[in-house]
Structures are given as structure tokens and as C-alpha cells.
Structure 1
Amino acid sequence: MKLFKTALLAAALAMPLSQQALAATPDNLLVVAQNIDDIVAIDPAQAYEFSSGELVSNVYDRLVQYDAEDTTVLAPGLASEWQADADAKTITFTMREGATFHSGNPVRAEDVVFSFSRVIKLNLTPAFILTQLGWTPENIADMVTADGNKVVLKYEGDFSPAFVLNVLAARPASIVDEKTVMEHEADGDMGNKWLNANSAGSGPFALSAYRPGELVRLTANQDYFKGAPKVEGVIIRHVAEAATQQLLLQSGDVDMARNLTPDQIGGITADNIKVETYPQAAVHFLSFNQKTEALQPEAVWEAARYLVNYKGMTDSFLKGQMEIHQAFWPKGFPGSYDETPYTYDPEKAKQILADAGIETPINVTLDVINSTPFTDMAQSLQAGFAEGGINFDIIPGTGSQVITKYRERSHQAMLLYWGPDFMDPHSNAKAFAYNRDNSDGNYQATTTWRNAWAVPAEMNDKTSAALSESDPEKRNAIYVELQKEVQAKSPIVIMFQATYQVAMDKKVEGYVNGATSDFVYYRLVTKN
């Protein structure tokens, strides 16, 4: 019966839309319409796209991981426990008993050593996440070793164990089945070509089919150490057009549409369809280049915080896409600061400028990516800031043009967004609260350096202290302090956190969509 239903579904997915009006998805399968044409690679040592991140998280496990039950808690994965020695810069992991790969091979400490070494030696796009621990092709054999059912991991750098654990929860730290992978090695590629069409994981689902630009089929791992998924499988069908996704959902051909536009979301009236909203990790901000004299006074920074029409934007053209968030670490993760003390108040802004003796009007250019919603946001900022005596001359450009200008520090004001490379607060603290060397020749991929803001020494020291603090609670408290300070006094005005809306059949429950694409989970989904 299982095979029959699967075959029936495959046939239905191949039909023209005109023939699918009476189609229905099988009860034991979740069928998703999604644009997955961004996928370049699915090997966890290479995968660096949004859609591939989702795939890796459902097929592979890590030693420690943010899991479906609570995406804000770093939980045991293939390691059942660990001991950290901050002084020795060593973490010892005990492997979980009874965990197996989809091949049936047991998950061994040696598989961990192989997986980490493989990432470092292949040195593909996401490898930098692991190499920041001081790992190189030359020393990796000494830095990560197996000892029976334990993995002994060493790192270099003044890092807290909490930071290292978050690095190990990132995508390239996924554990692969060494025996299966090396059976498919070709020309010294350590199985890379094969893993970009197949899988060798231990996660809740196994990859049973992958056709680029067409579909992904996942089959439930009935032996998963946290229990078998609630559905027997997931089919992700590549549907590039949002209108087609909407049609498939409304006709019952899919259970979920992942890429509907805000207008389409707002127009849903069917009783059998619901829309869920999920906060995302990207924060959107306005920043002022400190090479521009008129933007250097702290009173300008403070006044700017009262000239953003936060609610006006989120209640209109940003509805469903963003929520008000005024701190650099996204809501929904340990260490976040979620208070939003600033509201649109032009009179207060004018008073702040007048009390500081700042003459208006101030004329400033504002660079913005020439696409929605950024152009709409820029126009709202233009109108709001004009009320306070600050005039924006909007300069639209392509994404590459705007970002290149930002990296050159040749802008005046800039409207952009920022997302972490991995879910540790330091990833954003370094970007928004650290800049010890503000010289033109010391290029840094941070918002502080790009805005030529020479961060106060005390704030730099606090950012360094948070990175090395070994007590997780104290560490998070330092990051909260940093966010309050950046929020109150910096040339960077953080305004919003992105949100993501997913339309689905009302019978679908248990879908988890965390703050990044790596935190999308299907394991708990039911179709009642």
C-alpha cells in the first residue's frame, strides 16, 4: 500500500495543472511546493544555500544541535554528553549509544573525525565556519581524535566553550557515514560528487530522490534515535512561480506553499488553509557613515531612532515580512534583547537636535537596493526623516552596487540587512559592536568598519570578554548589555527582524521553521 500511494503521488505531481483539480495528497506524506532552484550543492561540506540548509538539517545530525522540539536550545545530538575544559581548550564528547546511519552502519567516533577532517581538507564554501577554531589540513589529525566511544576536540583561540559548541552545531559540522562515503570516492574527492546527489546521514529522514530543479524526496528513518518521524515521507516539489504554488495549495495538490507573496498571503480566504508566521534571523538597519561630518554627532544618531516609522511600515507594506526589532541579535535565541523602546516621534527628534545645537536641514544620500521592500522602506524613511529636518536623497542600485559601495565606505547613509553565519551571538556582536582598527587599510566585513565607526574601547573589550566567557548565562548577559549599548548610542539604527510566512493546509501540524534555513524541520509534522 505504501508503494502504491507513493507511486500515485509521483504520477499526480507529473500531471499538468488542468488534470490535478481533484488530486489529494496521501495521508502519510507531506507534499511541499517550494522554489528550490537556489541549490548548488547538498553535500554538507559544500552546501551553502538556503534550500540546501533545510535538506541537510533533515538528513544529517551533528554532535550537538538545535532540534525540532525547541530551536532555541542547544541539545545533545550524536553526542549524548560532553565535558569542556576551557583552560585546556578541549571538549570531550561521548558518542550516543545505538545511533545508526541510514545505511545501517553504526555512528562511530571515527565518523566524526572523518567528517570534520573532510570539511577542512576539501575547503569548500562553508569550511570557514570550522577553520576559525584553528583547524588546518596540517593539524586536523591532532585537533580532533577518536578514543573508543569518545571524541576529543581541541581548538585554538580565546573562545568560550559555548562559542565552540555553536560552531559545532553549524551545517558543515554534520556527521557523514565514512564507510559509505568512501565507497563512492572518485579521483580523491572524498565522495563529494556522490554526496551531491545522494546522502549518508543519520537524521530523521533519508534522501531517496533528488532531481535538481525538480524535486526532493525524503523517506522517514524509522530507527531515528529520537523516534521515527510522524509522516512516512516528505516530497518537496520545485515550483518557481508563487501563483502556481498558490493554485496547488488551494486545489489540495500540495499541503504547503513556501514562497507566496504578501499579497497572496493576504488574499487567502479558504477555510481549509492557514498561514503561520516565523521570525527569521536577518535584521534590517539604517546606518550612517562616520566619514560624513554631518552624521558624526551622537544627537543625530539618537534623533534618527525617533524618525523611523516602525509601526507604519510593519502595519502596511511590511506586514507579514518584518516585525519591529531594535537589537542586533535576533529574537528567539539565547542572548537576544527584545525590548523596543523607540517609536516614531518627530517632535522629540527635533528637540534632541535643537538641544544639541545642530542646525537643520541636514542633507544626506541614502543608498538602497533597487527592489521591494527596500525601495518602499527608503521612501518611508525619506518621509519620516524630513519631518525631523533630515533630508534623504535616495540612490537606488543593484545589490552588488550597493554592497560594493558599502565595502568601500563611500556611502553616506545605507539601508541594508544582516544575518549571522552561525547561531552564536558573537557572529553579530563582532559585526555591530567591535572595531579596534578603523583605518581604511584594515578591511573588515562588519557594519562598524564599513560605517567607519571607531567603536569605544570599552565596548570592544566587552565583545572580546563575551567571546571568551565560559559561563553561558554570564556570556548571554554580556551580549544583552552590548545590544542595549548599541541600541542606545551608535550610528546604526536597527529597525526590524525579518519574518517568514508559510501557507499550509489546516490539517498540517508540527511544522517547525526556526530563525534560519538550517532550522526547518519536518520530523514532528502530522496530517490529522
Structure 2
Amino acid sequence: MHHAFAPALLAGLLLGSPALAASSKDTLVIQASADVPTLDPAIAYDTTSLGLIAQMYDTLLTYQGTSLSRLKPMLATRWAATDGGRRFTFTLRPNVKFHSGAPFTCADAEYTFRRNLVTNSSESSNWFLAESLLGTSRNANDDKTITWARIQKAVQCTNGQLVFTLPKADPAFLSKLVYTGQVIVNRAYSASIGEWDGTEKTWKAWVGKLTPGSALSRKPNGTGPYQLVRADATTHLFTAFSGYWGNPPAIKQVLRQRVAEPATRQQAFLRGDADLIEGSGRAADEAQMRGRPGVGWTDGLPSTQAWAILMNQQIKPGALGSGKLDGKGVPPDFFKDAALRQAFTAAFNYGQYIRDQLKGQGFQRTMLLPETFPGYDPSAPKATYDPKRATELFRKAWGGKVWTSGFTLTAHYRAGSAAQQTALEVLKSSIESINPKFRINVQPKPWSDLLSSDNRGREPLVMMGWSPDYADADNFVYTFYHSKGYYGDWLNWNDATADRLIDQARSTVTPAQRNGLYRQLARRAYTQAPFILIPAEREYRFYRSEVTGWVFNPVLPVAWKDLVKR
């Protein structure tokens, strides 16, 4: 998934709208480079779209402040889990209105989640909702066991309360409902503009058929604090919704503009014509923005991304060189040897990467899970840069053959990614200094090509990352460490102990038990070393200093309704 934030452009728009002066206290101006793919919550799966949807709609519940574990009500006032975590009952907030003026009812919530299950596709985030409610991430076209009766049973209104029935316990279920893509839409309105009508008669025609340019994307209708007034290819104008159920926002208008050129965004921001812009990376932003008059800067924020150099344990033909341990290539199962993987992790200079790439604003993690997520174990051992130990392990690997024969392999990085290039060059430099027979060729590759060859198992060594879909450890742990996970599958990494621990954690609803299983997993992964864990960056944000009220939750878009402009 996932980011993106005017004044020749701004000035032209303001001629017809004198109330939108950028200096106005009740107007927020945002500039970003990305277009907006969709405003339909059921298909949005990128940070740009979700960042705007979050302002117009509400989820059933959300997180308190910056926490990823303390939940607070939104459209639900309370909820309860019963039947061993297989049944969730939500009491819904009364006296809530949609932007159209229609009252919010349980039927709208029921329709929303059924619509998400029906239209679920690989382009949307609803695969993980379907996984919880139907036991499969697929839709009815791809999984013939999905019937209308199963969708009805999964989510229904009972005596005005919304009830979810899961085929088995899912400890991540509430985290999934916080995700912006699960905001509530209005049933009657959606049907009136040509969306699915919510009935059994028509559901089959809508399976996997939703497109980003849907009618609901063009004409959104939520219960949130802001409503869309108008939009074109470069601008979206929002106004505060006078019928909003919560505290009225202090900022009455928000203008989101697409401005491709970084220099144009920077000039608008420094003049005060834009309040929030998309940055250009830490080095450039610190040099151009930090400490300038009128610029607020928040640093040391938690990173929710996890990055690693992946070591493929069954490399497909195409990147093997000679395909043998003869110094001119590597055999397909080169990284099957645990001592070799441990040698690579001990040969990576973590401190140098933090200095060179992260400008000192980084730290090492013990596992591929953000430290803000429940389940992260700060006490687990972590790899350290130790050339002496790496030498000993290289001498041991493959019964001594690696040391005597040497190897040559090619490591690709995404063309244009300074972080990936730096990481691989740090590794190359250290490993080649240990033994002159060791060769790593670091080369750029277009992103689509790299993704394709990695997916087909042709990359021996590649740096990849993950951003969360929802704030639960499983979203990272399964992805990286399970043999059927997104990266585990690519790597041909198959460890029965890791799989068993993850499978147990997936069906355990007691937090202490889950965390205990993740502690065991962290230690198992340390000894098996399937990855080189890349140090995490301390995140930062900058904005006009006259705007206050920022709450930076690690997985949620900033809520405009919290902001005040002095």
C-alpha cells in the first residue's frame, strides 16, 4: 500500500473563491504529487485515497490518540466478543446523519460489510475482512463455497445491533475494523446512484466487479466531519459537515491539490500558501525546511514499515551464474545453509547504514515487526556487525567449501531507491573485504521487473519492505516468517517451528499467550537468520507552525477535525 501533499495553481482557483485565501484561519491547504485513485472505500488500497476517505466517513471504532491497542468508539458506542471470539456484537450510535441528510441505521452497517465481501477483489483491501468473516481471502467467483447465505450469516442486524459471526476466532478482527477501508456507507443512497442494492437477487452480478471510478467514488456520502464539495483532476475541495455528530471542526474548508513539482510545493509552503506538503526525504527536507520561519517539525515518530534483505533458499535459474560453488556463481540452494545466512547477518554494518542512509535517525529492531505493535519483543537478541564472527561462519558454511571456492552473486535494487542501493553496497563492501573470493554485484532494476523476478524466485538477494494493512502483529509476522506468507513463499523459507508458532498465535485471542508465542518466534528467527533486518528510521513530519493539534497515529491518516489554525 501506501503517501502523498499551491500558487499559480492556487491563485487561479482563488479568483472565483475569495473565501479560500490560504492565510485564512478556517482553511487548510494540502499539496501532494499523487493523483487520487478512488474515493470509494470498498476498493481504496493506497494512502492517498484512504487519507481523504478518512475525513468523509467513520469506522465503527478507532484508536485512542497514538495508541495501537486502546480502542475508542466512533459509529459504535460499545461492543462485546462472545463464543470464544467468534461472535462480535456492536451497539450503534444514535442520531447520526449522512451528508445526504439520511439517518445512519444498522441496515447501513450491515450493507457496508456485505458490499465489501461481495465486491472483494485483489485490488482492494477486503481480502483480510473476507479472511475473518468467510474463512477465505477470495471472492465468490474464485471460491465457489461462498454463498449468499454465508455472507448473510457473517454480518447481520439483530434487534438493531450489528452482529458479526466468524467461522473461527481471529484475534486481529477489531484491528481490521479500524482500517479506513471499513468505513460505513449509506445503503439507500448507494443503490440510488447505481451501486449494488444490497439484495440476494443482484449480489452475484457485483462479485469482484467494483472499479476505482465507481459512482460512490464520484459522489461520496459519509457520516464524517468533512464532505466533498467539488473535485477535478488536480483539486479536491472539502467543507465541514454541519450535521456532524461529533465536535464541529475548527477548520471549515480543506483544499487538497495535486502539485507534481517538489520545488513548487516547497515555495508555496515556505510562503505560507500551503499548510502541509509532501516532502522529498529526510536529507532534502532537513536542509530545506527544518528551522525555517513558520515551519513546525516533529521528529522521532515511530516507523510502521519493516525492511529486510531477503535470502532466497531455492534460487530459480537465471541468476545463478555457473550454478555451482566454484567462485563463478552459486548453487540454487546456496542460502539453505544456516551458517551462511548467519554469516551474512553478521557481515552487515548496521551502524554504517544508520549513519549513511538514515543520517543517524535510525535503530535496530529485534524482529520484522514495528515496535509500536503489540507482540514486538524488545528483549529478543538482535544481529550485530561482527566481521570476526562472520569470518568464522563463512569458514564453516557448506563444510568449508564457501571459504575455499568463493562465490559470485548479483543483488538487484529498485532503480532510484537510495536506501536499497546503500544497504546492498554496505553488505557488498563488508563481505568482499572478508575474502577476496567473495563477489556481490549490486545492480539497479526497474521496480516492475524486480517485483516480477522476485515473485518468480529468481532473485538470490533483494531488499524488500512491508507497510501494515491493519495494526496487528500477524500482518507482519505471517507475511515475513510463515512458509505460506507473502515473502516466506518467495524465499522458499520453510521452518516447521516458525509455522507452528504463527498458526497458534493466529487462533489465540489472549494477548499474553500471543505475545509469548511471538517471543519464541523472535528467538527462532534470530538463530535461523532467514533475513538481514534493515535498521528502522525514526519518522518525522513538518507543517506550518500556525497549524496545531496534530495527532500522529502510526497507522491512521491525520484527522483534519483535530487541527486548529492560529
TM range (shorter): 0.7 to 0.9
**1:44, distance to aligned residue in structure 2 (A):** 0.3
**Does residue 152 in structure 1 map to residue 197 in structure 2?**
no
Cα distance in 2 between the residues matched to 1:296 and 1:11: 57
**1:62, distance to aligned residue in structure 2 (A):** 1.5
> Match for 1:286: what amino acid?
I
**1:293, distance to aligned residue in structure 2 (A):** 3.7
**1:245, distance to aligned residue in structure 2 (A):** 0.9
**1:498, distance to aligned residue in structure 2 (A):** 5.3
**Does residue 111 in structure 1 map to residue 152 in structure 2?**
no
Instruction: Report if aligned partners of 2:339, 2:394 keep a CA contact under 8 Å in 1.
Output: yes
Cα distance in 1 between the residues matched to 2:519 and 2:12: 48
Q: Secondary structure at the match of 2:127?
A: helix
**Does residue 286 in structure 1 map to residue 296 in structure 2?**
no
Give the equivalent residue in structure 1 for 2:488.
448
Aligned identity (percent) is 22
**Does residue 469 in structure 1 map to residue 508 in structure 2?**
yes
Deviations 1:57-89 (A, max 9, x none): 222112222355545533332112112124472
Alignment of 1:39-118 (within 5 A): 39-66=36-63, 68=65, 70-87=67-84, 89-118=86-115
Cα distance in 2 between the residues matched to 1:224 and 1:332: 31
**Does residue 207 in structure 1 map to residue 218 in structure 2?**
no
Cα distance in 1 between the residues matched to 2:85 and 2:468: 28
Cα distance in 2 between the residues matched to 1:421 and 1:388: 40
User: Where does the alignment leave 5 or more consecutive residues of structure 1 unmatched?
Assistant: 1-7, 17-22, 436-443
Give the equivalent residue in structure 1 for 2:154.
143
Q: Secondary structure at the match of 1:216?
A: strand
Cα distance in 2 between the residues matched to 1:522 and 1:71: 19
> Match for 1:122: what amino acid?
T
Pick the aligned partner of 1:521 from 551, 555, 559.
Answer: 559
> Match for 1:369: what amino acid?
R
Instruction: Report if aligned partners of 1:68, 1:523 keep a CA contact under 8 Å in 2.
Output: no
With 424-433 and 134-143 compared, the bigger mean Cα shift is at: 134-143
Instruction: Report if aligned partners of 2:109, 2:184 keep a CA contact under 8 Å in 1.
Output: yes
Deviations 1:86-113 (A, max 9, x none): 4472111111233332333332111111
- From the superposition, tell whether residues 211 and 228 of structure 1 become closer, same or farther in structure 2 (CA, over 3 Å): same
- From the superposition, tell whether residues 481 and 279 of structure 1 become closer, same or farther in structure 2 (CA, over 3 Å): same
Pick the aligned partner of 2:30 from 29, 32, 35.
Answer: 32
**Does residue 507 in structure 1 map to residue 546 in structure 2?**
yes
Pick the aligned partner of 1:311 from 341, 351, 365.
Answer: 351
How many equivalent residue pairs?
501
Cα distance in 1 between the residues matched to 2:311 and 2:427: 13
TM-score by length of 2: 0.80
**Does residue 377 in structure 1 map to residue 374 in structure 2?**
no
With 314-323 and 173-182 compared, the bigger mean Cα shift is at: 314-323
Q: Secondary structure at the match of 1:217?
A: strand
- From the superposition, tell whether residues 266 and 379 of structure 1 become closer, same or farther in structure 2 (CA, over 3 Å): same
Cα distance in 2 between the residues matched to 1:222 and 1:478: 48
- The structure richer in strand per residue is 1
Cα distance in 2 between the residues matched to 1:506 and 1:186: 42
Pick the aligned partner of 1:122 from 119, 122, 140.
Answer: 119
Give the equivalent residue in structure 2 for 1:347.
388
Alignment of 1:317-356 (within 5 A): 317-319=357-359, 324-338=364-378, 341-354=382-395
Pick the aligned partner of 2:339 from 289, 299, 303.
Answer: 299
> Match for 1:423: what amino acid?
A
> Match for 1:25: what amino acid?
S
Q: Secondary structure at the match of 1:470?
A: coil
Q: Secondary structure at the match of 1:303?
A: helix
**1:343, distance to aligned residue in structure 2 (A):** 3.4
Cα distance in 2 between the residues matched to 1:58 and 1:262: 27
Cα distance in 1 between the residues matched to 2:482 and 2:195: 44
Instruction: Report if aligned partners of 1:35, 1:240 keep a CA contact under 8 Å in 2.
Output: yes
Give the equivalent residue in structure 2 for 1:20.
none
Instruction: Report if aligned partners of 2:66, 2:552 keep a CA contact under 8 Å in 1.
Output: no
Deviations 1:394-445 (A, max 9, x none): 243111222222222222212222233332211222122222xxxxxxxx55
Pick the aligned partner of 1:405 from 453, 466, 469.
Answer: 453
Cα distance in 2 between the residues matched to 1:217 and 1:15: 12
Q: Secondary structure at the match of 2:427?
A: helix
Q: Secondary structure at the match of 1:33?
A: strand
Deviations 1:267-319 (A, max 9, x none): 23523213334434221111211124432222222232232222322322333
Give the equivalent residue in structure 1 for 2:482.
434
Cα distance in 1 between the residues matched to 2:59 and 2:360: 32
Q: Secondary structure at the match of 1:267?
A: helix
TM-score by length of 1: 0.86
Instruction: Report if aligned partners of 2:115, 2:196 keep a CA contact under 8 Å in 1.
Output: no
Alignment of 1:118-267 (within 5 A): 118-124=115-121, 125-126=123-124, 127-135=126-134, 136=146, 138=148, 139-156=150-167, 158-160=168-170, 162-185=171-194, 193-212=214-233, 214-267=234-287
Cα distance in 2 between the residues matched to 1:9 and 1:206: 26
Instruction: Report if aligned partners of 2:340, 2:394 keep a CA contact under 8 Å in 1.
Output: yes
Q: Secondary structure at the match of 1:80?
A: strand
User: Where does the alignment leave 5 or more consecutive residues of structure 2 unmatched?
Assistant: 1-6, 16-20, 135-145, 198-205, 315-331
Q: Secondary structure at the match of 2:132?
A: coil
**1:325, distance to aligned residue in structure 2 (A):** 3.3
Cα distance in 2 between the residues matched to 1:59 and 1:471: 34
Q: Secondary structure at the match of 1:55?
A: helix
Cα distance in 1 between the residues matched to 2:521 and 2:266: 43
Instruction: Report if aligned partners of 2:307, 2:368 keep a CA contact under 8 Å in 1.
Output: no
Q: Secondary structure at the match of 1:245?
A: helix
Cα distance in 1 between the residues matched to 2:362 and 2:32: 21
With 39-48 and 83-92 compared, the bigger mean Cα shift is at: 83-92
**1:338, distance to aligned residue in structure 2 (A):** 4.5
- From the superposition, tell whether residues 261 and 429 of structure 1 become closer, same or farther in structure 2 (CA, over 3 Å): closer
Deviations 1:205-261 (A, max 9, x none): 22223323x122232345544422332232221111111111111111111222334
Pick the aligned partner of 1:420 from 438, 444, 468.
Answer: 468
> Match for 1:524: what amino acid?
D
Give the equivalent residue in structure 2 for 1:438.
none
Deviations 1:107-149 (A, max 9, x none): 2111111101112223343232222124345221222111233
> Match for 1:275: what amino acid?
W
Give the equivalent residue in structure 1 for 2:294.
272
Instruction: Report if aligned partners of 1:243, 1:260 keep a CA contact under 8 Å in 2.
Output: no
